[in-house]
Structure 1
Amino acid sequence: MASATPEPVALAILAKAPAAGAVKTRLTPALGADGAAALHARLIQRTVETACAAATGPVTLWVSPAPPNEYFTALASRFPIGLAAQPDGDLGVRMLAACQAATGPVLVIGTDCPALTLSHLHEAADALRAGSDVVVIPAEDGGYVLIGTRRPQPGLFAEMTWGVDTVMAETRRRVAQHGLRSRELPTSWDVDRPEDLARLRTTAFAHLLDELARTG
C-alpha cells in the first residue's frame, strides 16, 4: 500500500528589501551600508532556497515594503514562491498575519539564520503533523529563529516586547498559560551583530565576506 502523503505545512518567510542603510545596520561598521545590504540579500536567497528544498508545503515570502520590488520579483521568478505584503504593525502583527493566511499548519521564519537546515524544517513540520500546537527553535540571543503553529495563536504574538532577550522566555510562559502542546528544537543562532560575522565565516558565506572585504 502506498504511504499517505504528509500533511502540507506551509512556510512563511518574513523579509525586508535589501536597501543599503535600511537593513543590517548594526553590521554597517564592519561591512559598510552596501556590504550589509548585500549580505542581507544573500541571506534572503539562502533562506528561500532552503525553504523550497524542504518542500513541506507552499512557500510565501512576506515582504516589506509592499511589492513590486525588483529584488523580490526576481526571486519569485527563480523559485516557486508566492509574494505577500507584510501588514503594518509590530513583528507580532506581521507573524500572526502570516499564520492566519495559511490554510493549515505553518512555519514562520526570518532570514537571519544561516544555520537553519532542511532537517530543522522537516523536524519542525513533523512536530506539527504529530499534534504539537506550537514548535519553536530558540535563538541564542533570547528570541527565536522559527515558530510554527497548527492554527493561529494570537496570544503568542499580541503585546509582546520584541527585540529583547526575554522573548523566548515569555513565549514559553504564554504557551503554558494557554495550555498548548509545544515542541522545542535545539537552540540556533542568527546574524545581527558584528561579533556574529566570525561564526558566519565558518559557513558557506565565507566567500561572500571575503568578497565584501575586497570591495568595501
Structure 2
Amino acid sequence: MFDHIIIQFAKLPILGKVKTRLSPDIGDQSCLELHRQLLQYTHDNLKQVTDKLGGMSVLSIDQLGADSQIEAIAKTTPLLVQQGSDLGERMANTIRWGLKLAKKVIIVGSDCPVLTVEYYKQALNELNHEAHVFINAEDGGYVLVGATQACDDLFENVPWGTDDVMAVTFERLGAANKKAAILGPLWDVDRIDDLNRLKQLKSNWPNEIT
C-alpha cells in the first residue's frame, strides 16, 4: 500500500464545455486552450511532487473520449474515470477508491497554478493527525481536499461552483463530528480577474496546446 495517492480532477477538454465562466470574456476557443494548459501544468507539477515526496499520482477525468493530450498523459500516468452524478459524489467515490491503494488520498483540481510542493507536503503532514485537510480558495471553494477515511456526508448537497462551498463543508464537518486542517487560502482560475492575475505569472497564456 502507498503512503499517499494524489488524484488530479479534470474535465475532458471539449470546446464549449470547459472554463465556461470565462467564455463571455475570452471565447470558447481560448477557454479550451487555457483549460489544456492548466491541466498540463498541474499534471507536470504532480510529477515533480511525487518525485520529491513519493506516492503516486493519477489523472481522473469526468468522461472518456478521444483526445490527444489525455492519450499522451495516459502513457505515463494512470487514468481514472470519475463515477457519480455530481462533483460531490464523484469525489466521495474517488476517495473510497484511493483508500484501497493508499493510507492518504488527496484530490486536487486542475485550475490552481500556485499549488507548490510545499503545500502538498503540508497537506500530507496534516493527514498524519487529522482525518481531513482542505486548502480553501479565495472565492469560497477549495482547491485541494485530503482524507485518511471516507466521509461521503461531507460532499452531499454542496452548492458546487458557488461562494458557499467551504462554508457548507464546515457545516458538514460539524454535523459529522469531524475535524479538519485548513490551509491556504489560494486562488484558482475561474473568472476574468483570476485570468488577469494568472497572466502576471504566465504572460503567454492561454496559448494553443496540441
Tell me the TM-score normalised to structure 2 length. Answer: 0.89
- The whole-number CA distance in structure 1 between the counterparts of 2:135 and 2:82 is 22
- The whole-number CA distance in structure 2 between the counterparts of 1:49 and 1:192 is 20
User: Which among 79, 83, 104 is matched to residue 79 of structure 2?
Assistant: 83
Aligned residue runs from structure 1 range 62-73, under 5 A = 62-67=60-65, 69-73=67-71
Instruction: Give the length in aligned residue pairs.
Output: 201
Aligned residue runs from structure 1 range 16-27, under 5 A = 16-27=11-22
Taking only the aligned residue pairs, the percentage that are identical comes to 33
2:163 paired residue number? 165
User: Which among 31, 39, 50 is matched to residue 36 of structure 1?
Assistant: 31
Measured against aligned partners, the alpha-carbon deviations of 1:125-151 in whole angstroms (never above 9, x if no partner) come to 1111x2211100111111111110111
- The whole-number CA distance in structure 1 between the counterparts of 2:23 and 2:161 is 19
- The whole-number CA distance in structure 1 between the counterparts of 2:126 and 2:114 is 19
CA RMSD in angstroms comes to 1.7
Question: Would you say 1:107 and 2:106 are equivalent positions?
Answer: yes
Question: Would you say 1:46 and 2:5 are equivalent positions?
Answer: no
Give the SS at the match of 2:192. Answer: coil
Give the SS at the match of 1:208. Answer: coil
2:203 paired residue number? 206
After alignment, is 56-65 or 67-76 more displaced?
67-76
Runs of 4+ that moved beyond 3 A: none
- The whole-number CA distance in structure 1 between the counterparts of 2:24 and 2:179 is 43
Identify which of structures 1 and 2 has the higher relative contact order when contacts are C-alpha pairs closer than 8 Å and 6+ apart. Answer: 2
Whether the 8 Å CA contact 1:66–1:86 is kept in 2: the answer is: no
Instruction: Return the offset for 1:161.
Output: 2.1
Measured against aligned partners, the alpha-carbon deviations of 1:110-130 in whole angstroms (never above 9, x if no partner) come to 1111111111111111111x2
User: Which among 140, 143, 147 is matched to residue 142 of structure 1?
Assistant: 140
- The whole-number CA distance in structure 1 between the counterparts of 2:70 and 2:21 is 23
1:3 paired residue number? none
Aligned residue runs from structure 1 range 113-124, under 5 A = 113-124=112-123
- The whole-number CA distance in structure 2 between the counterparts of 1:87 and 1:143 is 21
Amino acid at match of 2:185: T
Give the SS at the match of 2:15. Answer: coil
- The whole-number CA distance in structure 2 between the counterparts of 1:37 and 1:68 is 15
Whether the 8 Å CA contact 2:20–2:31 is kept in 1: the answer is: yes
Whether the 8 Å CA contact 2:13–2:67 is kept in 1: the answer is: no
Instruction: Return the offset for 1:67.
Output: 5.0
